[in-house]
């Protein structure tokens, strides 16, 4: 049987990491196992109380039915309290918060809710590849705005205003920025909101990294007037080591939440209630939790510095999130060449920056989601090949 694929898949291939992990699996069969320093999947567990809550709630007989499309009230209240405590943002849990089965689905939901064929969307280069694929799957057209090292990876609003913005409906923004690790400033966020208001553009802020190696978490919704033009996505994947649990949230004005829910309610039937209750527990954790998580990442980051120095890469030490972004030596045509060399010669996988856009071609990204001994072993392997 021959079936023609939907046109919406034209130009959209399998996700890079999906393909690369298959290749790594094959390499593992042929010799020394590959050390994976590429994927941003936390290897640390959630807090014991979170796991205990899941176990206890799952054992109850009355928690296994379909759940509310809007999420459990207890989880929405927990997100509201969390936003108030850590970001200083007041949100109405009944109307301005929508729990998600992971924030990645929120990216798709937003694009499907608002985009018609040909609508233009501003996406960062470099930036998370899912922004591009979600826009294209929804029928939209991606318009890149380039982030440059010379501008400290900040948005150049003067250059943006020179573009024809007449067909631009949305803009994806992500600070702390992935993959560059650039932290936001209040001035940057004020400029983002002002740009959205001036140009009648919906600003979609993806904010999963604000608690990792960052002492001052900030939400774009904390800026005056933001609720008029901003939807913010957040997640427990990184901040609470719950990536596989798939718990995220969409926050914004009442009208925006209702609009996205109109699409989302046709796509799923709610999240498992014990997972929601455990997530609510996670959101009550205090400063000690974040400090302990960051203590581990700080130690790993020192090892990652050693690895990058060995590769003759240059980098800023003023980065947030669970990655390090670094410029490759000039002798390589791009980071794919260097990363493949390391993979095939030393069995160490590092992410080439080009997967995040052309502006990342001369950069690579190292994940901090592996224990220190894996960094030490990676350094030894690469050193041995240099001898």
pLDDT for 206 equals 97
In this prediction, residues 232-237 reach a mean pLDDT of 97
**Where do we find the tokens 């233009």?**
120
Do residues 157 and 114 share a domain?
yes
* pLDDT tens track for 299-330: 999 999 999 999 999 999 999 999 999 999 99
Residue 89 has which token pair? 């943002």
Peptide bond into 118 cis (omega under 30): no
Percent of the chain surpassing pLDDT 90: 85
Nearest to 372 by CA among 43, 28, 39: 43
* pLDDT tens track for 42-51: 999 999 999 9
Question: Is residue 79 included in any domain, yes or no?
Answer: yes
Instruction: Report DSSP state, residue 184.
Output: P
Question: Is residue 296 included in any domain, yes or no?
Answer: yes
Cβ atoms within 10 Å of 164's Cβ, excluding its own: 8
In this prediction, residues 62-79 reach a mean pLDDT of 93
CATH code for the domain in which residue 30 is found: 3.90.1150.10
pLDDT for 4 equals 86
Do residues 325 and 251 share a domain?
no
Distance of CA 100 to the CA centre of its chain: 14
Q: Is the confidence at residue 384, as pLDDT, over 90?
A: no
Nearest to 71 by CA among 282, 283, 232, 273: 273
Question: Is residue 5 included in any domain, yes or no?
Answer: no
CATH code for the domain in which residue 194 is found: 3.40.640.10
Picking from 261, 282, 303, the residue at the C-terminal end of a domain is 282
* pLDDT tens track for 245-272: 999 999 999 999 999 999 999 998 889 9
Chain mean pLDDT for the chain: 93
In this prediction, residues 225-241 reach a mean pLDDT of 96
CA–CA separation, 248 and 246 (whole Å):
7
Do residues 277 and 171 share a domain?
yes
pTM: predicted TM-score of the whole model, two decimal places: 0.93
CA–CA separation, 102 and 206 (whole Å):
12
pLDDT for 10 equals 79
Picking from 233, 250, 282, the residue at the C-terminal end of a domain is 282
Nearest to 257 by CA among 364, 106, 53, 72: 106
Do residues 258 and 355 share a domain?
no
In this prediction, residues 75-89 reach a mean pLDDT of 98
pLDDT for 14 equals 67
Nearest to 174 by CA among 142, 203, 213: 203
Q: Is 170 exposed, middle or buried (0-12, 13-18, 19+ CB in 10 A)?
A: buried
The domain tally of the chain equals 2
pLDDT for 302 equals 96
> Comparing 72 with 384, which gets the higher pLDDT?
72
Classified as helix, coil or strand, 174 is: coil
Pairing label, strands 168-173, 202-206: parallel
Q: Is the confidence at residue 354, as pLDDT, over 80?
A: yes
Q: Which domain holds residue 17?
A: 13-42+288-386
């Amino acid at each position: 049987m021959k079936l023609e694929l939907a046109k919406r898949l034209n130009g959209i291939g399998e996700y890079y990491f999906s393909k690369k992990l298959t290749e790594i699996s094959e390499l593992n069969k042929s010799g020394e196992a590959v050390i994976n320093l590429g994927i941003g999947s936390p290897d640390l567990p959630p807090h014991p109380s979170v796991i205990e809550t899941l176990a206890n709630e799952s054992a109850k007989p009355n928690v296994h039915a379909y759940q509310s499309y809007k999420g459990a009230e207890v989880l929405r209240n927990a997100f509201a309290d969390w936003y108030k405590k850590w970001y200083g943002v007041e949100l109405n849990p009944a109307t301005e918060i929508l729990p998600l089965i992971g924030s990645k689905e929120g990216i798709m939901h937003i694009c499907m809710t608002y985009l018609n064929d040909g609508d233009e969307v501003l996406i960062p280069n470099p930036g998370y590849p899912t922004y591009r694929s979600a826009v294209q799957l929804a029928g939209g057209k991606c318009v890149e705005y380039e982030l440059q090292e010379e501008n400290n990876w900040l948005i150049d609003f003067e250059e943006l205003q020179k573009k024809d913005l007449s067909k631009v409906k949305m803009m994806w923004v992500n600070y702390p920025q992935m993959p560059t690790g650039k932290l936001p400033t209040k001035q940057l966020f004020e400029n983002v909101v002002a740009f959205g208001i001036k140009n009648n553009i919906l600003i979609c802020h993806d904010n999963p990294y604000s608690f990792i190696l960052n002492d001052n978490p900030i939400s774009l919704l904390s800026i005056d007037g933001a609720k008029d033009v901003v939807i913010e996505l957040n997640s427990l994947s990184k901040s609470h080591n719950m990536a596989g649990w798939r718990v995220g949230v969409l926050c914004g004005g009442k009208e925006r939440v209702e609009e996205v829910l109109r699409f989302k309610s046709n796509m799923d039937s709610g999240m498992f209630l014990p997972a929601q209750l455990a997530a609510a527990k996670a959101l009550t954790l205090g400063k000690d939790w974040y400090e302990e998580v960051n203590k581990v990442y700080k130690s790993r980051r020192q090892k990652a510095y050693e690895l990058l120095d060995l590769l003759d890469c240059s980098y800023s030490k003023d980065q947030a999130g669970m990655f390090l972004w670094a410029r490759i030596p000039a002798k390589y045509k791009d980071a794919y060449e260097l990363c493949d060399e390391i993979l095939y010669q030393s069995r160490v996988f590092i992410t080439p920056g080009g997967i995040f856009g052309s502006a990342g071609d001369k950069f690579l990204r190292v994940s901090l989601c592996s224990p220190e001994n894996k960094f030490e072993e990676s350094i030894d392997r690469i050193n041995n090949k240099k001898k």
